[in-house]
Each structure stands twice: as C-alpha cells, then as structure tokens.
Chain A
Amino acid sequence: MQWLTAVNSRLSRWAMWIASACIIGLVINVDYGVIMRYGFHEAPPFMEEVALLLSISVAMFGASAGVRDAGHIGVDSLVGLLPEKPRFWVGVCAGSLTGLFALCLLIGCSVMVTETYEHSIPTLGISEAWRYIPPIIAGVLILLFSIEHLIAMFKNEKVVASWH
C-alpha cells in the first residue's frame, strides 16, 4: 500500500503538470490562430487539430486525477443512510466499478490504436492513433487510483489528494 501510494501520488502530480502545460499550450495555440487569421490573413490550418489533441489530453489527465482526489460528481446522500457494514460493501462495489470501467477504456482504446494506426489526421499528417494515447494512459492511471482507493477502504484509511 505504501509504495502504491508513493507511486500514485507521484503519477497524479505528473498528470497535473502535463494537464496544466496542455492548457497553456491550448491558449497559445488558439491565440496564435486568431492573431494569424485576423492580423495576417494566414490562418494556420493545423490549429483546430492541435487544439483537439491537447484538449483530449487535458480532459483525460484531469479526469484521472479526479478519480484519485474523489472529484467526480456522485449521489452519496442515500448511501449515507445505510448502516456501516453494508455501506462499506457498497463503497467497495462502487470503487470496483470505476476500476472495471478503466480496464474497458484501456482495452477499447488499445484496439482503436491498432485500427486507426494507418489513418492520418488531416492538416497534421500524423497518425490518428495519437488521439487514443491519452485515454490509454488515463485507463492505467484510473485503474491504479481505484485499486489504491479499494485498499485504503479495507485498511480504513483515506487517500490524501495530491492536487489543489
């Protein structure tokens, strides 16, 4: 558990750095596009596709961190009414479902990488498969984070959020 926590908090912090860098990249990319088009009549054709690749990265890294820091919106007011024992097992169920989803994400997007490997993204000329790399990484991260949460639950501990 201790080593998993150590690895996860580091991974989660890295995810935050990457996501933050991608947001800055997004702003620069879109501003550059607007300035080139409005000021110089030279719209960079790659602007939209670059923006899409960056935003999928922001979203997937942000969503994984949301799992570790319990940031996703849920309805737990009803679970709160249960006595302690069943509440514990309901929590375990919910945690495992999140992990299962991450596993499917990992499988599905890996297949998509192989299927779209030879397609190229217009105006960028790189493989369409790049679009599915951030979700695959997110699948691994979410899986690790939900395992950490499950272990913490059995040990009656709390996962300390590593993001603000």
Chain B
Amino acid sequence: MALTLLCLSFVVFILLGVPVAFAIGMSCLLAYGVEGAEKAFMLHQTFGDAVMTTAAGAFQTMISGMNIFSFLAIPFFIFSGELMLHGGIADKIVNFARNLVGHWRGGLGLANVFACTMFGGVSGSPVADTSAMGGVLIPIMKKEGYSADYAVNVTTHASLSGALMPTSHNMIIYAFAAATASGMIGDNVIKGVSIGDLMFSGLIPCFWIMTCCLAAAYYQAVKFGFPKSADGVSMVKPFPGWGVVGKSFLQAIPGLMVVAIILVSVMKGIATATESAAIAVTYSLLLTGVIYRTLTREKLLKALARAAKTTGVILLLIGVSNMLRFQMTWLEIPEAMSDALLATTTTPWLMLLYINIIQVFLGIFLDMAAHILITAPLFLPLAIKMGVGPVQFGVMLLLNCALGLVHPPVGTVQFVGCAIGEVPIGKVMKTVWPYYLAIWTAIQLVTYVPSFSTWLPSVINSHPVF
C-alpha cells in the first residue's frame, strides 16, 4: 500500500510539474502517512497525535539528511564558482585557450573544449561551467564563423568534466549517498567512500572526455569547414605568436590555481576535503577582490545570493531524498530490486550493462542531484556484489548522470547551452552524436576497466582503492 502510493504519487506529481524536491517530499509524506496511520491504530493515538508524530519523524529525517558536515562544500564550491565567473576569471581562461589553439581548423571549438575542461575544475558543476564558458564563448564562436549548434554541443559536452573535477559538489552528494555502502571486494572490507579518493578518481576519465571532445570538435570542424563566413569562405585566423600566448597564460594561471590549492591542502594535511572548499572561497575572494580588483560590492552580493539560492535548492533535494532513502529502506525496496535483477543474470559484465542502461534511462527524466541520491542506494550494493567498488561506481554514476544533463527532456546543461546559443534543442540534437560517443566511451572504460578510475587515487593516496 505505502509502496504503491509512494511510486504512483511521485509519477503523478512529476507529471503535474511539481518541482522535483516537493514531488519527492510529498510522495514520501504520503508513505509516512500510511505507516503513521497503522501505528496510530496500534498505539490508540488520536488523529492529531498521529499527524504530529508522523510529520516529526519525516522532517527529523529530512533535516538530519541536510545536516552533514561534508555538505558545506556545496555552498562553498558554488560561491567560489560564482566569484570566478563574475570576477572575470572565466574571461581570462577563454582568452588563453583561444590564443593557444584558435588558429587551427575549428580552433575556437578546440579552445572551447580546453577552456571548459579547465573551468570544470574551477566551477562546481557542469551547469555552472556551461553558463560561465558558454556565456563568453558561444557568442564569439557564432560571430567568427561557427554554427550555433556546433558551438552549443562543444560547450555542453566539454562542460560535463565539471562533474568529475575536484570542485564537483555532485561528488560530495555522491559521497553522502554512498556513505552506508558496505560489503567485500576480494579480501577487502568496503565501508563508505572517501572524498579524497573520489577527488582523484575523476581526473583520468575527465582527461579522456577532453581528448574525445577535442577529436569530435575537430572532426566536425573539418567536415563542415568551420570557421567559415555565411557564403562559405574560410575564416581561420593567424597565430598571435607565443608572446601573446604566454602573456594570456600568465593571466589565466591564478584562476586555475584553485584546483591545485584544493588538492595540495588535502594532500599536505592542512585541511579536510570539505574544509578545502572554504579555502577555495577565500582564495577566490582574495584573487578577485584584492589582486584583480574586479569584484565590486554588487557582484559580491549577487554571487552570495546565487550561492544561497542554489544551495537551498540542492540541500532541500538532499533532505527529501533522505526521506526517500528512509522509506525505501523501510519498504525494503533495494533488496527487492537487487533480487529482481539478480534473477535475470549473475554475470558481472551483463549486470553492469543493465545498471548503466537503467541509469541512462533515469537520467532522461531526473536532474543530477536527484539522480545520484535516488540511484546510488539502489544500485551500489549490487555493484559491490559484482566487484565494482564505491569509487569506481561513483565515477560511473556521475558519468551516466552527466549524459542525462545533455539529454532532453530534462537536460539542464542543454537548456542553458541552447538558451545562450539561441538555438532550438531539436537542431542541436542533429549534430550531437560524436559528443555522445565521447561520453559513451568514457562510461564503458570506467565500467569495465576498474583501474581507469581507481589507479590514480590508489597511487596518490598509497592504499588500494575500489
């Protein structure tokens, strides 16, 4: 009864257009209500008492789900990303990438991939990355002889690295969702997941995506002859000279340093992964406020307000997802799910294929944070049984979610990209396949080659990582 109500009401609320957080919250409240009624009957409670106990139980779970120290990294990363964007760091990164490879065939496309990957380490998420880099680059690309759909596809896909680079708040959300993971891989006891390990696990896949996006951008530039004028004349620009490249590099370096600062402060024992996010904010404030002096009072307030609102939206989602996790545990859904899947196959590669397919499918409808919070507890226990540890699974899940971000109907990154490029989603979808291929190969490598994601953290942190 509670289970049916939970699933059915969730689908109905989502279709009604209720924001995801409130849809999850309300359908969980219905499930809590059913159990509350049963319990009230058993304990001979009055109606009022039953409502109060049930609501208290539900919201205790919600608030405690939000009340976790690692989540501080979310406002911090969003805030520092906003500071970097409004403080002019984004422009400097674009400038450098453009000077470096802008003179090649499809040069601005390649520059875009570089810039997005670099800023991916600075911003907290692919959405931030797309709005920062796309906001600067897409208009320039359109003006200098690239089609709008090309400009948008390059930006949105290269931005997905924002989900895997060290400032990723989605990684923090995953670490929370996987905190209760437990099991054995070989002789190794698995218990939760370390954010420190996760931080390094995404770097190689990120590099892979960058390389594939570069290839895709180059391939399409050659195929369509970008950059070209409206009447088809090539518009390739001359190389500005190493002096200019060097100068723009020096200007971009302080902005890029934020990644290094985060990684070093964790590795040297100065701060925990969570605290390093506060250091990143302080650095961004000093850089934009004192050194560049690009940060006005107006811009600071805007960055603060946006950070607060985004944090609120994400943390509320996390809170209600904790209610959902509680209900799923109560109703024993993960066990039922895993039994059902195990009944179809016990071959690890096939099972992992199923998990990937389901995750990509869910990514069509769900936004990243909701996707992570809902699917990690469902599939991680199963993945561990198949020999895939929480770190490897995390990268796999983040990539699957990332693919969902550039997928209609709910592709947040695609929305942002298309809005900036002023181009309909249908047009973008026609030339998207080389980029999908790039993400897809990354997913396959992460799924079937464990060391692709686990080798780097295990070398750097010198202990086995799964």
Contact = CB atoms under 8 A, between A and B. Distances in A.
A64 interface: yes
A65 B306 CA distance: 10
Interface stretch (A2-10, A70-78, A152-160): A70-78
A59 B66 contact: yes
A62 B20 contact: no
Nearest to B265: A34
Contacts of A48: 69
Contacts of A107: 51-52, 55-56
B279 A75 contact: no
Interface string A98-129: 10110011011101100100000000000000
A131 B65 CA distance: 13
Interface string B302-327: 10111111111101110100000000
Contact of B282 (A27, A91, A132): A27
B413 to A, nearest CB: 12
Contact of A31 (B63, B75, B282, B319): B282
Interface string B43-78: 000000001110111111011001111011001100
A75 B17 contact: yes
A116 to B, nearest CB: 9
Contact of B316 (A63, A69, A90): A63
Interface residues of B, number: 67
B275 interface: yes
B102 interface: no
Nearest to B53: A111
A62 B316 CA distance: 9
For chain A, give the interface size range: 35 or more
B331 interface: no
A23 B304 contact: yes
A132 B29 contact: no
B79 A23 contact: yes
A37 B412 CA distance: 40
A164 B313 contact: no
B29 to A, nearest CB: 6
A79 B60 CA distance: 33
Contact of A97 (B20, B26, B271, B370): B26
Contacts of B25: 101
Contacts of A132: 63
A75 B409 contact: yes
B18 interface: yes
Interface stretch (B8-16, B173-181, B219-227, B337-345): B8-16
B437 interface: no
Interface in B259-296: 269-271, 274-275, 278-279, 281-282, 285
Contacts of A131: 63, 67
Nearest to A20: B304
B104 interface: no
A66 B313 contact: yes
Given A94-B17, A97-B18, A66 B275 contact: no
Contact of B22 (A23, A78, A98): A98
Given A107-B52, A111-B53, 17 more contacts: A24-B304, A30-B76, A34-B271, A38-B269, A56-B67, A58-B75, A59-B66, A59-B316, A62-B313, A65-B309, A66-B313, A69-B309, A72-B313, A74-B18, A90-B16, A97-B13, A97-B26
Ranked 10 nearest A-B pairs via Cβ: A62-B312, A108-B59, A108-B55, A72-B19, A63-B312, A19-B308, A59-B315, A30-B278, A111-B56, A20-B304
